[in-house]
Amino acid sequence: MAFAITQTCCNDASCVSVCPVNCIHPTPDEPDFGTTEMLYVDPQTCIDCGACADACPVDAIFPVDRLMGPDSVYAELNRQYYETHDTDNTWGEPRFPRSLPSQVTALRIAIVGTGPAASYAAQSLLRTTGAEVTMIDRMPVPGGLVRYGVAPDHPSTKKVGDSFSALYRHPRLTLHLNVDVGSDIRHEEIAAHHHAVIYAVGAANDRSLGIPGEDMAGSISATEFVGWYNSHPDVAADAIDLSAERVVVVGNGNVALDVARILVSDPEELAATDIADHALDALRRSRVREVVVLGRRGPEHAAFTRPEFLALRDLRGVDVVVDDHVDAVRDALATAAPGSKAALLAELPAEKVDWTRPSPEGRRIVFRFRSSPAELDGTDRVESLLVAGNLDDGEERQAEAIPAGLVIRSVGYRSAPVPDLPYDEATATVPHKAGRVLSAATDEQHAGTYVVGWVKRGPSGGIGANRTCSAETVDSVFDDAVAGRLREPTGSSRDFARLINSRRPDAIGRREMLAIDRAERRRGEESGIGRPRVKFATVAELLRAGRRFGIR
């Protein structure tokens, strides 16, 4: 019986490298890698050895005969992939881990950030070289997107963070947390103490809608909402008001679906997760009964992945419907190609929603397509969202108001400019070539400076996509080290630690970080309901937990 990959696939390709018959595709060497929603096992080639399941960092791979309930559909999804994609199960050229020649001086490399992209880069450096690695983050705890971006009801996805836990204990790794690069310390100061600096700072800013009323109370970003339910210190516990019965989420990507799902999930089913205590309390008191997921284009262009949609569709006690408000939506669903996103949506009930009426009893999610936000209206806070119709034939339709007390925009992310580095405003990325930062004026390499992750390639690809992205950047570091293009540090790692402590006396190191981790896990155990951890939600709480076990 073959194995199948399921909803929590992280796309990091750990399974590909251990498969003895090369039956998992797309591989990192194939054009579709990084653009497909997940990886797939070829049931005709699989020999049922289970090596992929053992290697999977997020427990996403199971024997087909053990798939039950909502996961049952993944046997068919894995099979369908090979009906529509030509794959070759013969082995390509082997790729061995890079190493540095013995004549190259042992490197000291700084990585700004501790999320997946940063952690994959650090893993590669520590496993294949004798480099000393310094990781710097403005948060008092590491993890980045894994800690603060993954929805609490996706615990398997969070398991990829467990693969980084050994990294933080590595003897050649130094952590400087609660340190802001740009205000506490500058790029040139980091570069003076390291051969190379790799920036993995992600894309923390959200894109705006650019419509009237967007700054009104009750209009927030998905970034803020996700940070709120994930205990991000930048988001106050009382930042989200759930007193309205209807919420509109603008956008229909995976983050939009996460937001919609959390808003209508049974709070008692979330109680055993690592959701923020303040968010759980607010959801228990929430009056939200209906979430409208707004899409600018038609159902055939929905931005979510099939696994995320299936997780949403199978919510207990929640109706999911499509607003059948124009012929273009109806026609797209009726003519949907098998296996397409529109075909998934065609399986849902369709009804023409009367927005002048109150939300129906119970909880539901409404997908509304062919609609763009035009204006937010209200007196002291948002009361409605005016939407304009989008039709391919150019036909103009009268704008329609959707009453809502909370509007959450989820239309993408942008990286913020990195202090002292060039920045491309159009792409919201740092200009680079194979991860090497390029000078904005001369297009020449910014010596010893590199990027990885979303600040390098834009906000695309899931957690696992950062593995291949980091491999490219680390290869560039190795090539530059061999070619003698790296700068020689003028200060030692001990000098750098002294500098950090003088600038930021409340910086956090490994010992304090581990103390915080133990305290959060202990709080989870003490909850009595099997919570993996109970997070501290403020910087002050995190620092107190770390200091209970002594300052460095």
pLDDT at position 541, please? Answer: 97
Is the pLDDT at 406 greater than 70? The verdict is: yes
pLDDT of residue 395: 58
Lowest average pLDDT, out of 89-98, 101-110, 278-287, goes to 89-98
Which of 45-49, 140-144, 393-397 is least confident? Answer: 393-397
How would residue 547 be classed by pLDDT, with cut points 50, 70 and 90? Answer: confident
Strand pairing class (196-199; 108-112): parallel
Question: How far apart, in whole angstroms, are the C-alpha atoms of residue 337 and residue 43?
Answer: 23
For 19, residues 6+ apart whose C-beta sits below 8 A from its C-beta are 51, 52
pLDDT of residue 69: 86
Q: What is the pLDDT of residues 94-148, one digit of tens each?
A: 777 777 877 788 899 999 999 999 999 999 999 999 999 999 999 999 999 999 9
- What is 3-84's CATH number? 3.30.70.20
Task: Check pLDDT > 80 for residue 308.
Answer: yes
Confidence at residue 552, expressed as pLDDT on a 0 to 100 scale: 44
* Cα–Cα–Cα angle for 408, 58, 412, rounded to 5 degrees: 25
Tell me the domain boundaries of the chain: 3-84, 108-204+415-508, 207-412
CB of 411 within 8 A of CB of 256?
A: no
pLDDT over 50 at 551, yes or no: no
Fold of 207-412: FAD/NAD(P)-binding domain (3.50.50)
CA geometry: angle 259, 8, 41, nearest 5 deg? 145
pLDDT, tens only, 318-353: 999 999 999 999 999 999 998 889 999 999 999 999
Which pTM does this prediction carry? 0.93
Span 43-52, average pLDDT? 95
pLDDT of 394 higher than 70: no
pLDDT surpassing 90 at residue 245: yes
Closest CA relative to residue 467, chosen from 190, 127, 90, 23: 127
Determine the residue type at 345: L
Q: What is the pLDDT of residue 266?
A: 96
Q: What is the DSSP string of 431-491?
A: -EETTEEE-TTT--EEEEEEE-THHHH-S-S-TTHHHHHHHHHHHHHHHHHHTT-SPPPSS
- Of residues 216, 136, 204, the one with CA closest to residue 381: 216
Per-residue pLDDT averaged across 153-178, rounded? 90
SS (H, E, C) 1-14: CCEEECCCCCCCCH
Reported as a single tens digit per residue, the pLDDT across 32-42 is: 887 788 999 99
Strand ranges (E), 315-404? 318-323, 350-351, 363-368, 371-377, 384-389, 400-403
pLDDT reported for residue 205: 87
pLDDT of residue 439: 85
The reply to whether omega before 26 is within 30° of 0 (cis) is: yes
- List, for residues 518-527, the tens digit of each pLDDT value: 999 999 999 9
Provide, rounded to the nearest whole percent, the portion of the chain with pLDDT above 70. Answer: 98
Percent of the chain past pLDDT 90, that is, above it, reads: 77
Q: Is the pLDDT of residue 1 over 80?
A: no
- Give the model confidence (pLDDT) of 461-509 as tens digits: 788 889 889 999 999 999 999 999 999 999 999 999 999 999 999 999 9
Distance CA 552, CA 549 (A): 10
**550 band by pLDDT with thresholds 50, 70 and 90:** very low
Which CATH number does 108-204+415-508 carry? 3.40.50.720
Give the SS3 label for residue 267: helix
Give residue 336's identity as a one-letter amino acid code. Answer: A
